[in-house]
Amino acid sequence: MALSPEMKARIEDRVNTGLPDHWYPVAKSVEVRADAPYGVVALGEKLVLWRDKTGKIRCIQDFCPHRGAPLSYGEVHAGNIACRYHGLVIDGTGTVQEVPAMPDCPMEGRKALRSFHVRESSDAVFVFMSSNEETEPPELPLSPELTDPDWTGFLCTAIWEVNYRYALDNLADPMHGCYLHADSFTLAFGSKQDLLELNNRDEGFRVARVGQIGENFDWVEFETPEGGMYCHLDIPYPPAAGPGGNMRIVGYVLPMGPQKCKVFFWRMRKVQGFERESFRFLYRAQLEENSWSVLEQDRVMLEGMADHSRTREMLYQHDIGLAHLRRALNRTARAQLEAEDAAAGVVAAQ
Ligand code: FES
Ligand SMILES: [Fe+2]
């Protein structure tokens, strides 16, 4: 049955904001410290993170329950966070511990803010953006290279002033490599004409060029398990880039606001022993700069696109990956909304 216009609008709005009940990376591990709070926006929600006395990362809404000052402007004291404005102290569960300006203030002991589940892995901090604090999070979806000791790499993050959907579309679009990045160190090779094929996988899909593999950005795999979404792809490396063959990129995207996202890219190679050290040295000395300039080409192109370009585009065969990805996001948003409506006793109108 066709969806009602209202349901279509709700799906669009939810996908545009970012799907709740998924894990998202929000920061590098080193950015979240025990001596200073770290503020970030995820799915339009302001969050503050810090490390408690045990080193565990805590995450609550970045909103002082007194008057709404950002807690991320405050200080960490004895594992809790103190608001800079009037000193209120709140703990990692979002409960007010102390109102130092006012003896016996009834706010003390009140749970005032939502807290979020946090996991640290592979140099990154992941937050489960639950729609309901009681929801038990599913397993953190980690690309296998991230936890496989045979692989080594570097996490690079960047904020792009564009809705996260454009960053995902870009990753699902292998044909842009040999055009947008044609003058780069690693992506200048291969034919500029091809067809793409799409294959469903257990939990996700693969988009690949039909006519060449291993010459350019020729394939990408998106994984869409219950708890989130990530992708991986290969950038072929010429011999001058040292041992290890292809550079594997593992990508996650954090939706921040309507026109803001943060990309998390691990640049990895399967290298051990001496080759591992040589890659890590070469990466810092030379390859990192090349990688950044390629990423900048993506950022500039996407930021130059109008936010409503999606409503005017004329897609062709090469866009099967992003069309598939969009359908997957819409399907998940619809299933979430229908489940929420059912739980709230709303009779579905569609
Ligand atoms: S706004 Fe935070 S203590 Fe007043
Ligand atoms: Fe690119």
Residue 22 scores a pLDDT above 60: yes
Using alpha carbons only, what angle is made at residue 161 by residues 132 and 163, rounded to the nearest 5 degrees? 50
> What digits encode the pLDDT tens for the residues 127-180?
999 999 999 999 999 999 999 999 999 999 999 999 999 999 999 999 999 899
Structure tokens at 284: 């810092």
Ligand 1 pocket test target in 75, 86, 89 with most atoms within 8 Å of CB: 86
Residues 6+ apart with CB under 8 A from 341: 348
Residues 241 and 231 sit within 8 Å (Cβ to Cβ)? no
Going by pLDDT thresholds of 50, 70 and 90, the confidence category of residue 212 is confident
**Per-residue model confidence (pLDDT) at position 216:** 86
- Distance (angstroms) between ligand 2 centre and the Cα of 176 equals 6
Q: Helices 164-171 and 320-343, interaxial angle, to 10°?
A: 130
**Mean pLDDT across the stretch 70-77?**
97
The DSSP element (H or E) to which 247 belongs, if any, is strand 247-257
State pTM to two decimals.
0.95
Residues 111 and 95 sit within 8 Å (Cβ to Cβ)? yes
Residues 341 and 15 sit within 8 Å (Cβ to Cβ)? no
Residues 157 and 28 sit within 8 Å (Cβ to Cβ)? yes
**Alpha helix ranges (H) inside the chain:** 5-17, 144-147, 164-171, 177-180, 273-282, 288-304, 320-343
**Per-residue model confidence (pLDDT) at position 98:** 97
> What digits encode the pLDDT tens for the residues 237-280?
877 777 778 899 999 999 999 999 999 999 999 999 999 998 89
CB atoms within 10 A of CB 283: 21
Going by pLDDT thresholds of 50, 70 and 90, the confidence category of residue 347 is low
Residues 190 and 157 sit within 8 Å (Cβ to Cβ)? no
Mean pLDDT of the chain: 94
Helices (H) and strands (E) in the chain, counts: 7, 17
**Per-residue model confidence (pLDDT) at position 261:** 98
Residue 77 scores a pLDDT above 80: yes
Ligand nearest 187 Cα, by number? 2
Residues 6+ apart with CB under 8 A from 310: 165
Ligand 1 pocket test target in 66, 72, 108 with most atoms within 8 Å of CB: 66
Phi then psi for 333, rounded to 5 degrees? -60, -45
Atom of ligand 1 nearest to the CA of 86: 3
Higher pLDDT, 26 or 284: 26
Instruction: Check residue 202 and report its DSSP letter.
Output: T
Going by pLDDT thresholds of 50, 70 and 90, the confidence category of residue 348 is low
**Mean pLDDT across the stretch 19-32?**
98
**Per-residue model confidence (pLDDT) at position 215:** 84
Residues 57 and 40 sit within 8 Å (Cβ to Cβ)? no
Is the CB of 99 inside a 6 Å radius of any atom of ligand 1? Answer: no
- Distance (angstroms) between ligand 1 centre and the Cα of 61 equals 14
Percentage helix, strand, coil for the chain under 3-state DSSP, each rounded to 5: 30, 30, 40
> What digits encode the pLDDT tens for the residues 88-134?
999 999 999 999 999 999 999 999 999 999 999 999 999 999 999 99
Is the CB of 86 inside a 6 Å radius of any atom of ligand 1? Answer: yes
Percentage of the chain with pLDDT > 70?
99
> What digits encode the pLDDT tens for the residues 26-42?
999 999 999 999 999 99
**Per-residue model confidence (pLDDT) at position 36:** 96
Three-state SS sequence of 45-78: EEEEEEECCCCCEEEEECCCCCCCCCHHHCEEEC
**Mean pLDDT across the stretch 288-309?**
92
Residue 289 scores a pLDDT above 90: no
Residues 223 and 141 sit within 8 Å (Cβ to Cβ)? yes
Domains of the chain: 24-128 (2.102.10.10), 150-331 (3.90.380.10)
Residues 124 and 155 sit within 8 Å (Cβ to Cβ)? yes
**Going by DSSP bridges, is the β-strand pair 124-128/151-160 parallel, antiparallel, or unpaired?**
unpaired
- How many whole angstroms separate alpha carbon 77 and alpha carbon 81? 6
Ligand nearest 301 Cα, by number? 2
- How many whole angstroms separate alpha carbon 319 and alpha carbon 186? 23
Is the CB of 67 inside a 6 Å radius of any atom of ligand 1? Answer: yes
**Mean pLDDT across the stretch 283-301?**
91
**Lowest mean pLDDT segment, chosen from 33-47, 58-72, 117-131, 189-203:** 189-203
Higher pLDDT, 350 or 32: 32
Atom of ligand 1 nearest to the CA of 83: 2
